[in-house]
Amino acid sequence: MGKKVLVLGETRDGQLRNVSFEAVAAGKKVAQGGEVIGVLIGESVSMLANELIQYGADRVLAVEDAKLSQYTPDGYSQAFMAVVEQEQPEGIVFGHTALGKDLSPKIAAKLNAGLISDATSVEEEDGAIVFTRPIYSGKAFEKIIVKDRLIFATVRPNNIQSLEKDESRSGDATSVSVSITDLRTVIQDVVRKAAGGVDLSEAKVIVAGGRGVKSDEGFKPLKELAGVLGGAVGASRGACDAGYCDYSMQIGQTGKVVTPDLYIACGISGAIQHLAGMSNSKVIVAINKDPDANIFNVADYGIVGDLFEVVPMLSEEIKKLKAAQL
């Protein structure tokens, strides 16, 4: 018997995030042939229903209210719980984003449910839904199940393959009305610092700089390379502590844990706390002038050299390649 699974479709700048399509794919596994229902929450989001269906949702429920224009735990939990009450799901999947991480424990508390956070894979084993998730910041992994009937998980961006988009798919999109009351946290202002809109946790390519970058100015060639590759710029704590960049760019045990397809470490020595945040990247390139730097021990490819020489050359070479491909 299949399960009925709710998947939260999360938006950023009015678009659905990739992680939501990955969450739909995870939701399908949890459903074991049952129904996957996309849930959209916001001020005006119902026009995104179709896309969620094309990526595999069977139908979509939208909760729309002016008070939901920005994420707040109170607003979104009221909206999501109204859907839960209506549908009585046996599975729930969110992306493990800032929003998913903030909201999911609150929903789990309300449902008195177990919650598996930050899963990197979902598989069916002997009829049970088994999740894999990193522990010790990626230094180890655990396989874990929920004991109760309701299976609730958040999935780490970039790890679960979304389904092929199928434009011929269709399904119902209906709205659920909720009166949103008593928001105890109010967002008064948002200062946007995340450059270029590519979020580190979802980026397919990350160019990261360490203390070797030497100044905030020194990040320029890295930004250029990231731009050429359509990626994001990250940093070591060494670079953040030295004030070359914002802590929000930090990758590692006390920063972000990332798993891009390509990670280019520039002027980063490869301390264990840094490796914890990036060593599960698919391909790692290290650029460091010290041939004995530990980063070379985890790199797939390494160049021993001055990053201020190598990085601009790399940008040029990739530009050439892209131009030749056109």
Partner 1 sequence: MNIYVLMKRTFDTEEKISINGGQIEEDGAEFIINPYDEYAVEEAIQIRDAHEGEVTVVSVGSEEAGKQLRMALAMGADKAVLINTEDDLKEGDQFTTAKILVEYFKDKEVDLILAGNVAIDGGSGQVGPRIADMLGIPYVTTITNIDIDGSNVFVTRDVEGDSEMIKTSLPLLVTCQQGLNDPRYPSLPGIMKAKKKPLEELELDDLDLEEEDVESKTKILDIFLPPDKTAGHVLKGDLTHQVQELVSLLRSEAKVI
Ligand X SMILES: Cc1cc2nc3c(=O)[nH]c(=O)nc-3n(C[C@H](O)[C@H](O)[C@H](O)COP(=O)(O)OP(=O)(O)OC[C@H]3O[C@@H](n4cnc5c(N)ncnc54)[C@H](O)[C@@H]3O)c2cc1C
Options 181, 184, 243, 323; binder of partner 1; rule CB under 8 A: 184
Distance of CA 88 to the CA centre of its chain: 27
Distance CA 14, CA 107 (A): 24
Collapsing DSSP states into helix, strand and coil, what is residue 76? helix
Would you count residue 304 as binding ligand X (CB under 6 A)?
A: no
Residue 66 makes contact with partner 1 by CB under 8 A: no
Told to check if 280 binds ligand X by CB under 6 A, we report no
Query: Closer to partner 1 at the Cβ: 166 or 319?
Result: 319
C-alpha to C-alpha distance for 7 and 60, rounded to whole angstroms: 9
Cα(21)–Cα(34) distance, integer angstroms: 17
- The reply to whether 272 sits in an annotated binding site is yes
Among 86, 170, 290, 318, interactor with partner 1 by CB under 8 A: 318
158 touches ligand X by CB under 6 A: no
Given ligand X, partner 1, none, residue 307, with its beta carbon under 5 to 8 Å by kind, binds: ligand X
Site for ligand X in 198-217 (CB under 6 A): 210-212
Please select the residue that binds ligand X; options are 166, 290, 300, 317, rule is CB under 6 A. 290
Q: Could you tell me if 138 and 120 are in contact, meaning their C-beta atoms sit under 8 angstroms apart?
A: no
Q: Which stretch binds partner 1 (CB under 8 A): 20-28, 83-91, 103-111, 169-177?
A: 103-111
Q: Does 227 bind partner 1 (CB under 8 A)?
A: no
Residue among 46, 47, 71, 61 at smallest CA distance from 92: 61
Q: Are 20 and 52 in contact (CB under 8 A)?
A: yes
Provide the Cα torsion 239, 241, 244, 248; round to 10°: 90
48 makes contact with partner 1 (CB under 8 A):
no
Is 237 a residue that touches ligand X (CB under 6 A)?
Answer: yes
Asked if 260 touches ligand X (CB under 6 A), the answer is: no
Residues in 137-156 at the binding interface with partner 1, rule: CB under 8 A: 137-148
Binding of residue 293 to ligand X (CB under 6 A) = yes
Please tell me what DSSP assigns to residue 239: H
Q: Is 187 annotated as a binding residue?
A: no
Give the shortest CB-181-to-partner 1 separation in angstroms.
14
Q: What is d(CA 139, CA 278) in angstroms, rounded to the nearest whole number?
A: 10
Structure tokens at 120: 């990197």
Binding annotation = 211, 236-237, 250-254, 267-274, 288
